[in-house]
Structure 1
Amino acid sequence: MPGLQTVALSVVAGRGARFEDAARSGWSHLLEHMVFKGAGGRSARDIVEAIEGQGGQINAATGYERTSFQVRALEGGLDLGMAVVADLVLRPTMDAADLVREKQVVGQEIAEAADAPDDLVFEMAQQAAFADHPLGRSILGVEASIGTAQPDTLEAWRAALYAPEALVVSAAGAVDEDELLALAERDFGGALAGPATPAPPPVSFQGGVRAQAKTLEQANLVFLLPAVGLTDPDYFALRLFAEILGGGMASRLFQEARERRGLAYAVDAYADTYADGGVLGVFAGCAAKDAAELARVAAGEIEGLAASVEGAELARAKAQLKGSMFMAREQPASRAEQAAGQALLFGRTLSAAEVAERIEAVEPADLARLGERLLGGKVSAGAALGPRAALKAVEAFHRGLFG
């Protein structure tokens, strides 16, 4: 990226919490914590001081299908960044005393998420949608499952999760391609293949309701419908459907639920996608007395959008989607992550022109077809968290769509 004086490095494993069984729930996230406790002869403090001493930053994130290690550095910082991340991924220390402490830290993270309603309601909705499937379990896991991890078993999980055949090294910004290739060969070229890792079970949206009474000022609501995945031909139709439905202040949900009816301060729609499936979701925070009515409004707007779309709102959604994707491409860290994800899914990167072409190719008939796919199974899921008066909102959403 010409003109930049910084570089972003992402080393991304195409595996995450979706590869766990129930006994190892949360191990991928725990492992991500543990590798920072010491690796390649560096202590936890050495790791961060080495990166920060050169003006950089280091971080990591665990998802259902990916685990990502990221370094932001000044120009010239790729050498050190690559060496440190390679140590984290391939040569962590796995000290037993560190593991005991880190289990406590993760336990506090689990408790913190449970105390945050706008986090907890999404976890509840995920459980309602996918039940005992790995996607129905929290990425953080539960204390019982992370408590069973030992240094040797966690090391075996690392060898499977971060196996070299699952890794992509990606960099953007002030980076020279020849240098990147040489450093990748130096630091990852000797990595040994991991153990055979079974493919995760296919996406299975089962549908259901999770409702929990809690003393809160507002009801927190999430409604979900089964949707398509990242590799599906209707992927961009899904993204545009979510944008028109609740992607911004001009969206149908914002205008109807907030501006016209005053039912909610916060209401939006989104698409969560995995390789082979996904969900269309609606989130809202509202007064408990308005929860059922808001659910019916959300159902009605989905049904209406599935039936017809105006040319102007489709054009606006296309502009918004291209804007968000292209703005992300102007940030080195986002571009590095985006390229790694594309390489893992498609075996190549997609140009901005190709992405724009796919977005522009979506027609009203594509949204209608997607609407049929969203509603055809007559199944939904959702969660309601807050005062008791709001707890029937998920059922109201389902009835609004399917009777």
Structure 2
Amino acid sequence: PAGAPDRSLARKVTKVGVVGAGLMASQMALLFARRLEVPVVLTDLDQSRLDKGVGYVHAEVDKLLGKGRVSADQANRLKSLVTGSLTKDAFADADFVIEAVFEDMAVKKQVFAEVEAVVSAECVLATNTSSLSLTEMGAGLAHPERLVGFHFFNPVAVMPLLEIIRGASTDDATLATAFAVGKSLRKSSVLVKDAPAFVVNRLLTCFMGEVVAAVDEGTPLEVAEHALDGLGLPMTPFALLQLVGPAVGLHVAETLHAAFPERFGVSENMAKLVASGKPGVYRPDFSLDPEAVALFAGGTSPSTAEQVRERVLGALSREIRIMLDEGVVAGPQDIDLCMILGAGWPFHLGGITPYLDRSGIAQPRFLPPGVASLPA
């Protein structure tokens, strides 16, 4: 991957620790055990959550066994590799510890302070944060150079992208170890600068923010929801919001608004939706929920679907240009890779930057003529 350190600097990983035992943490534990074939220990403060997390891993292994993906011996071995502990002392001999706790800076800083107190000097500390600053997260650590971002996408076993984030203090050995682990996990890793929401979530929030803003300004929700159907995206914007969770979407929007208030807004209607406690804009059968739709009061200036489409794509083009100028990634192709593998950008379009080039929205072009573009 562009910018990755020499792989010879990577340290060997013989045991993995996972802080948390929720769904994301349990998915990670299974992946680490299956691909690295090393002991993996989950920790949590609550025995019932811990039992549920380990139980999830064992149940998923049984599913693999039932499908013939693993043998009986392999299944037994995988189950034996994943254990749980109520204390972080279980990380004492771990080489790689990743947190998957609540997306709150204070909580994550506390977790890493507790982990650093028990692990060896060579242990890599990884965060699965989706939007928070690594540099701030590591500010209170005795050894911030061993903190690295290791951002998975959900579902962990299926989504092939891994955003590896280098904080201000992250050293080459830590980064090389992260890339080596990512390769062992069979993920496509991209090196990302420590910037708000990194790549995929920053662009998805930009995309979603423009759609929501159009609705807030008076565009009927159904019109805005289907304005970009012609691109062949894997799902509509509000279906994506429901999948991610409105509360998570609002949190990332607030993070980006704090960093770039002139480009990222926070929808009052979205805040009302989250405050209402409703799970999303759709019912379980993916039909629009009238009560949730009603929370988007709308204004008095309806826009057409084409205007919404141009608004969204124009905003994405501007944000990608800024990200490249900031050095968030090495080049446009890294943006393309992240969006295809992490956001489901339609593969047949060749990547988001060549699409914006071909459609004339990117001015100037992101890529030289002839690179990922149609013949004249």
Report if TM-score (shorter chain) is over 0.5: no
TM-score range, shorter chain: 0.3 to 0.5
Which fold has the larger relative contact order, with Cα–Cα distance below 8 Å and residues 6 or more apart in sequence? 1
